Structure 1
Amino acid sequence: MNKIRMRFLMSVVCILGGFAFAKAQSAQSLLKEVDAKVKTYKNIDIDFKYALSNEVQGVNQETKGSVVLKGDLYVLNLLGTTQIFDGKSIYTIVPENTEVTISDVSDQDENEITPSKMLSFFNDGYTQKMDITQKINGRTIQYVKLTPMDSNSEVKHTLLGIDTTTKHIYRLIIVQKNDTKITITVNSFKPNQPLSGNTFLFDKSKYADYYINRI
């Protein structure tokens, strides 16, 4: 009887282990499809809703933003600020302060989810696991839970919502260890848009009255 029970328990362990492995593989496979789809586009123009909340601190903010991406290059408009990355430097333009801050890309935190990494950050440094599925306006959104492998990360986990039909990212939910939650929801996703040659270039002549701060 003991041998039979032991075989039964071992079978259950193997089945459950195989099920967990299959789920992990499924998450990895879905993310690879998302990454492959994004790489087929010359550029992407995204409008999104940005929400930040922390119930403990009584913080709840919402705003709209937009970003144009071409490889690593980007132009981000958010919270009244424009940020341009031309491949070498990051230009942060704050009209409210009439100030432009220029920083080198090497000064950025490698673990920070920048616009350049927005659609591919999940490729490294995270464990990947299938999470819930939602129906939103007739679309099926599959969430993948990403947990940082770096124990010192400020992020507890990230939920990546993927449209299972288009393989486009629909929603990004970042939950930090201080219980702050950042939610980015894509309102429109337009690939292969006509862009001018200076889209990702900082034109200093437009900001002659601004204070230029290079760090």
Structure 2
Amino acid sequence: MKKTGILFLSLFIATVAFAQSAEKAKSLLDEVSAKMGAYENMYIGFSQTLSNEEAGIKEGDEPPINGEINLKGEKYRLNYLGNHFIYDGAKLYVINHDEKEISISDNDLSDDDGFIYPSKLLTFYKEGYNLEMGKLQNIKGKNIQFVTLNPIDSNSEIIMVELGIDVKTKHIYKLIQTGINASKTMFTINEFKKNEDLSENFFSLNKTKYLSDNYTID
């Protein structure tokens, strides 16, 4: 077989293998999205760690940042970095306890800065990424299948996203986001609850309460 024929065959096999990997990756994430999205609500306790090899920062050099979030559809209540974020599906309330200030905006947190925000967790992969199956790893006794997501936009602030899926539960276990500055942000889900009994106004801001505590609401 001529070299051109061998090259064409190699490229063809590689293309087919990549397409099959992409299909498997999408199928897995669709299954995860459908399963987790079907819950009435979810509670997620997570930890965040950072690393940047170029800057000499390794994972574990700093203690993890812990946070928690309740999700119901697009609504969420997030406790992160000492602040509270409440999104009721129409307005976003950011509660700064140190300054005793509450800011209100008409939209969810924007993803323009390249960060994957809570309400997009189960759907962000559906647009703007090429998917492929990653490694299967055993982490703390759990079989975690990673899916690699590469942004289609060459100007994206994100170089790569890796989603770790618990093979047994079909839940998201870990998200690793690599930015253009070579830094890695890693979120690990340490606690998960589903279908909790939440009050009707759980995802609403109690303005009266905060005003009585002398908070400023913008």
Could you tell me how far apart the structure 1 residues matched to 2:204 and 2:14 are? 53
**Separation in 2, partners of 1:9, 1:160:** 33
Select 1:63's aligned residue among 44, 62, 65: 65
* TM-aligned CA deviation for residue 17 of structure 1: 2.8
Q: 1:105-144 maps to which residues of 2 (within 5 A)?
A: 105=107, 108-109=110-111, 112-144=115-147
Structure 1 residues 190 and 150, CA gap change in structure 2 (3 angstroms): same
User: Matches of 1:205 and 1:78 in 2, distance apart?
Assistant: 23
Deviation at 1:55, TM superposition (A): 4.2
Partner of 2:87: 85
Q: Which amino acid aligns with 2:92?
A: I
Amino acid of the structure 1 residue aligned with 2:102: V
The percent identity for this pair of structures is 42
3-state SS in 2 of match to 1:194:
coil
Q: Distance in 1 between matches of 2:198 and 2:139?
A: 31
Aligned pairs for 1:189-200 within 5 A:
189-200=192-203
Q: 1:13 to 1:192 in 2, by over 3 A?
A: same
User: Partners of 1:71 and 1:182 in 2: how far apart?
Assistant: 25
TM-score by length of 1: 0.89
Question: Residues of 1 paired with 2:149 and 2:133: CA distance?
Answer: 9
Unaligned runs of 5+ in 2: none
Contact 2:175/2:187, CA 8 A, preserved across alignment:
yes
Matched with 2:205 is 202
Is residue 50 of structure 2 the alignment partner of residue 21 of structure 1?
no
- Structure 2 letter corresponding to 1:101: S
Q: Is the 8 A contact 1:148 1:156 kept in 2?
A: yes
Report the CA distance shift for 1:61/1:154 in structure 2 as closer, same or farther (over 3 A).
farther
Higher strand share: 1
Residue number among 48, 52, 57 corresponding to 1:50 in the alignment: 48
Deviation of residue 204 (structure 1)? 0.6
- Aligned-partner SS, 1:96: coil
Q: What is the CA–CA distance in structure 1 between the aligned matches of 2:157 and 2:7, rounded to whole Å?
A: 39
CA-CA distance at 1:119 after TM superposition: 2.4
Is this contact kept in 2: 1:52–1:61, CA < 8 A? no
Q: Establish whether residue 212 from structure 1 lines up as the match of residue 210 from structure 2.
A: no
Alignment check: 8 A CA contact 1:48 1:64 kept: yes
**Cα distance, 1:211–1:138 mapped onto 2, change above 3 Å:** same
Q: 1:114-168 CA deviation, whole Å, 9 max, x = no partner?
A: 2111222111111101111110122110111111112221111111000111110
Q: CA deviation at 1:102?
A: 0.8
Q: In structure 1, the residue corresponding to 2:153 is in which secondary structure?
A: coil
